[in-house]
Amino acid sequence: MSDKKLKDKKLKDKKLRVMSISVEPEMQELLKNSAKKAGKNVSSLIRDLVENHLALIVNEGEEIPVIIKVPVYLKEDEEGLKEWLAAKTQAIIKRLCADE
């Protein structure tokens, strides 16, 4: 079975529900063009976009708060701030991924 037929079958099995959205004409054109480039229809593209976006959202209670106090001297030093943040990011990753 081809990928397209398999995907169509999965969509039918999901029992999709119809929704409507309102967008500006420019957004509609962007969605149409993007879907065409991706080889999808607009509905499929929007489903994928929504699914990917929602996957990034962390539900309340499922997060680990991290507070970073940035030194004032870095306020207008973009390169210094990037370097400082990179070091802090690595430290946070090590701490959160460490075996307890």
pLDDT tens digits, residue range 1-33?
Answer: 566 666 666 666 678 888 999 999 999 999 999
pTM above 0.85, yes or no: no
Question: Which residues, at least 6 apart from 74, have a Cβ–Cβ distance to it below 8 Å?
Answer: 80, 81, 84
For residues 85-94, one letter each, b for 16 or more C-beta atoms within 10 angstroms of the residue's C-beta and e for the rest, the string is: eeeeeeeeee
